[in-house]
Amino acid sequence: MLTDAIKKAPGGNRTAGNENTGVLKVLAIVFMIIDHAGAVFFPQYRDMRLIGRIAFPLFCWCLVVGCCYTSNIWKYALRILVVGLISQPCFMLGLGHEWYQLNVFATLLLGVLAIAGIQKKWRGSHIWAPILAILAACAVQMDYGWRGVALILMLYACREKKGAIAAVLTAFCLYWGYGTFKVTSFLGVPLITSISFLPQAGGIFMALTQVQFWAILALPLMLIPMKRKSILPKWIGYGAYPVHLLIFAAIKYWMM
């Protein structure tokens, strides 16, 4: 029974958001491919990068749900480590990164290890594990970096309340947006950048022009529950990342 599984889950209480990770992972994979295709082949179409922002919060949320329900969080972390190692050359070839720039699985791995420390509470690991994870993400260059690890930890901390999840992701996206490249329209529709009679709100509306802010579009998918559970084969969920990057690398080589 699902109720029994929830009670026995090492991560504690049931999460408040959408737990249909099968559907969420498929959507995240689609958005990720759109994002990477825009970065590699169609840099002039910034709408693709904007749509792609939805992927990472979905992957983070699926990770949080997975950490709550996995029977062995260490095996979960090991799978992520193995896929990350396999994906690294694909990441370098497909997206043009260097060997010292780690792929997103390094960020996800640090998130899982930090959550494991919180769950196990081994000699104060619920305190030092998250701190070490953030410091490691600061010390080593990786996709999404310490901000990505912080988002995973914040989503885990507020997983039991929909309002808290919404508040965390909204605040994070407003902060995350600054310093990224600007977009002035989406699918041809101009974005609001200011409202003259609300001078103090100008900074918030300026965030609409920052591509990373649009990760907020993931929020409804994270919160709206789906009654029918969908199971995505693990080989698809984990394999989609390195495989699509290898395909991109092959296309780039063919186009040379």
Global pTM reads: 0.87
Nearest to 86 by CA among 243, 248, 247: 243
**Joined tokens for residue 215:** 């990760």
- Written as one string, the DSSP assignment of 81-138 is HHHHHHHHHHHHHHH---TTSB-HHHHHHHHHHHHHHHHH-TTSHHHHHHHHHHHHHH
% of residues, the chain, pLDDT over 70: 82
152-209 per-position pLDDT tens digit: 999 999 999 999 999 999 988 888 765 566 676 666 666 666 555 555 555 666 666 7
Nearest to 134 by CA among 154, 110, 158: 110
Residue 142 predicted with pLDDT over 90 = yes
In the prediction, which pLDDT does 217 show? 93
Pairing of strands 185-186, 189-190: antiparallel
Band (pLDDT 50/70/90 cuts) for residue 3 is very low
Helix, strand, coil content of the chain in percent (nearest 5): 70, 5, 25
**Joined tokens for residue 2:** 């699902």
